Chains A and B, each alone.
Chain A
C-alpha cells in the first residue's frame, strides 16, 4: 500500500509521521498582475503578463513517537529530512512532484510538565514554500527533434527544457510552431553550422546556457554570440499547443511537463 506523503521519495510514515492535513495541495498558485483603466471605458484591463506568488503549504502531521527521548530524536530526523530543496509528492498522485523548502515548523503539542504525564506524541506543522509554484512530471520526457514538427505534450503551465541539436553541417534553426502551424516569432534560435556528427549544441532554455560538444568534449567557453547568429532562448506555452522542429539535422528535447495544481 502506498503512503500518503513523500518527501524526497521517503514516505513520511517512516519518520513516524502521520499526515492529518495537506493544506491546499490541490490549489493553484495566486497570480499578480498589473492593470490599466482604458480611456472612456469602464473597468480595468489586466496586464497580459503576470507573476506567481510563491505557494505556502502548512502541513499538519502527527508525530507518533513512543517516548520523550524518541520524540526528540524523531524531531531531529524530521529536520534532517526536510533540509534543502525537497521533492514533495502524494501517494495517490505519484506522477507529479513539487519542489519546496521548509521555512518554519509549528509544534503545538501538549507539554508533559503541564499535565503531569509523559506525552511523546505531538502535532507538527512544517511550512513548505514552493518558490517554483508549479508541479512537475516526476519523470522527465524525451521527444525527438527533426525537420518534421513534433507536437510537444504540455501540462497546464509553460515549460522550458533542454534541447540538443546534432548532425547538421548547415546552419540550423531551432524553432517552435503554434497550433495551426504558424511559426512563433519569438521562439526561434539560429546557430552557425555544426561540423556533422562530431559536434552538437545543447541549449538549456531555463538557464540561458549553451554547451557545445566538439569531438565529444563539452565546452561552455564559446561565447553565445559565436554560435547563436539570431534569436534568443524561449519557452513553450501550453496556450500555443506548440510543436518544435529543427531546419536541418536532428536532436532531442528533454523536459518536464509543468502543472498549475
Chain B
C-alpha cells in the first residue's frame, strides 16, 4: 500500500521563504520577522529618534517597542525608496523647547512659524532686516561632562546667502562651534566650520536639509548657548533662514533629530541561531549613520553570540575606536582580528561580508555603494569541534544586530537593510543575491 498518494503535492507555501540558514531584510514588508524560521526578538525600552519617510518627511517618535523604520534615497532621485531599520544609539535631546520663536532674541529678529518636515513641530523663519547688527535666537543647553558634543538641526534657505550656527560658551567667552553655511541654490554645500566639525547633511522634504555638526570640547559647568543666526554673523548682512528641530546631545554624533527633551534608547534585535560552528559567509547591508564618528569602541554587529554573555566561540564585526575600517574578530578561544583599510562615508550604502573558511581563517570584505570589493584576512584559528555551537550552547546561540551578546555593552549604530548567512565561503556578488 502506498503511504503517499501519487497526487500528493509539495506544501503550498504562502509566504516567501529563503533557503539560506539565515536571511532577514527590511525590504520584506518592514517587519522584524526573518525570511527563515529563526525566532527574532525586537525590543526598545523607550522612543526612537525621528526617521525619514517616503518623501523626506520625518516619522515618529516611535512608541516604546515599535521598530524605527526609515527610508533612504541612495540614488538621489528624490524618492526615499530603500527601506532600513534604524538601530541608533541612545540619545537625549538637551534642547528643551523647539519653539524657536520663544527663544531669547539677540537684536530683534522676526520669527515666523511654517510647516516643517515633521508634522508635530513647526519650522521657524528667522529674519534679520536691520542691516546693522547680526540678529539671532538664543537657547541655553545644559550639557553633562566635558567633551565633544553633537548638534543636529533641520534647515532651509530663506533669503540669506549664508547662515551661521554657533555654540557659545558665555562663561569662558569662547566659541565651541561656528558653522557658516553658504547656500548654493537650496543646497547647504559644505559649511565652513573653523571651530568644531561638520559631519554631514541629508536632504529632506521641501528643500529642508538635516545638518549634522560636532562641537569642540565643551565645559559642561559653563553656560553654553546655541545661537541660530538669521543670516551670517556679519552685522551688515540681512536675510532669513528656516530652522527646525534643533537637537543637542551628550554624545559625539547624532544620526537624526529628536523632539524637545526626547530621550531615545537603543533598540535590540536578535535571532536564534541554532547551528554549530562551521565554514560560513555572513553578509550585512546597511546605511552608515555615524558609527564612523564613534570616539570609543563600538561594536557594529556581531553574529552567533550567546544571548546573555560573550561566551566563545564568537564571530563579530565592529568598528573599534580609531580603527581604519570595520573589523572582524574571530574568537574560538583565542582571538584573531583583521581590519579593513577604509571606512564608509556618512550615509553611504555599505556591504560587509565576513567569511570563515574550513581552515579557520576569517576574512572581511567591504563594498561601498556596490563598488569594487576590498578585503582583509585574519590569521587562522582552527574551527572547534563540529558539535560546538556559537556561544558554546545551542539553546543560547544568537545572531545579534548592533551589539555584542550582552545587550548594551558595546552598541553600534546602523540603518540595517539586510542580513544573511550561508554555509561555505561565498563572494560578495553571490551573497548580494543569495536567497
Contacts and interface: CB of A to CB of B under 8 A. Distances in A.
B70 interface: yes
B54 A85 contact: no
B185 interface: no
Q: How large is the interface on A (under 10, 10 to 19, 20 to 34, 35 or more residues)?
A: 35 or more
Interface in B64-98: 64-66, 69-71, 80-83
A201 B13 CA distance: 29
Contact of A139 (B58, B82, B119): B82
Interface stretch (A43-51, A140-148, A178-186, A236-244): A140-148
A139 to B, nearest CB: 5
A144 B83 contact: no
A126 B29 CA distance: 27
Contacts of B10: 83
A216 interface: yes
Nearest to A213: B65
Contact of B119 (A146, A166, A202, A256): A146
A74 interface: no
A9 B60 CA distance: 31
A64 interface: no
A10 B420 CA distance: 14
Interface string A220-261: 000000000000000000000000000000101010100000
Contacts of A14: 433
A153 B27 contact: no
Nearest to A256: B29
Given A84-B13, A84-B16, A254 B30 contact: yes
A11 interface: yes
Which has the most chain B C-beta neighbours within 10 Å: A95, A166, A215? A166
Contacts of A166: 62-63, 66
Contacts of A250: 60, 119-120
A140 B30 contact: yes
A159 B11 CA distance: 28
A198 interface: yes
B63 A197 contact: yes
B63 A83 contact: no
A218 interface: yes
A190 interface: no
B285 to A, nearest CB: 12
Contacts of A150: 57, 119
B408 to A, nearest CB: 15
Given A9-B433, A197-B47, A197-B63, 13 more contacts: A8-B435, A9-B435, A83-B13, A137-B81, A141-B54, A141-B81, A142-B51, A142-B54, A150-B57, A213-B66, A216-B63, A216-B65, A252-B59
26 contacts: A8-B16, A9-B434, A14-B433, A84-B16, A85-B14, A85-B15, A95-B81, A99-B16, A138-B27, A142-B51, A142-B53, A142-B69, A142-B71, A142-B83, A144-B60, A147-B119, A164-B66, A167-B61, A167-B63, A197-B63, A200-B62, A213-B65, A252-B59, A252-B69, A254-B29, A254-B69
